[in-house]
Amino acid sequence: MMDTSSHTLNTLFEQLGLPSDTAAIDRFIETHRLFSEEVPLHEATFWTDSQAAFLQDAIQADSDWAEVVDELNIRLRNAH
């Protein structure tokens, strides 16, 4: 059965096994930054192997998670 629920940053963080309330997500983004465009999101050093694989698969397969993974990527690169 296909999952047709909409994904949010909160559900993405749940999927990644991370605290998923909005304040925890904001803290994560403030403390985990991607400073180089050369480093793909899934290659950031702060992911576990399984988290990195999930993020990479979401983008490569253009899964229903891809849009929210892109949002996370943008926020990690543009955080102040």
Q: What is the pLDDT of residues 50-74, one digit of tens each?
A: 999 999 999 999 899 999 999 999 9
How confident is the model over 74-78, as a mean pLDDT? 93
Q: What is the pLDDT of residues 1-58, one digit of tens each?
A: 445 568 999 999 999 999 999 999 999 999 998 888 889 999 999 999 999 999 999 9
Separate counts of helices (H) and strands (E) for the chain:
4, 0
Domain ranges in the chain are 9-32+42-78
pLDDT of residue 1: 47
Distances (CA, A) of 37 to 11, 56, 78: 25, 16, 11
pLDDT of residue 80: 53
Exposure b/e, 24-55, CB count within 10 A at least 16 = b? ebeebbeeeebeeeeeebbebeebeeebbebb
Model-level pTM? 0.87
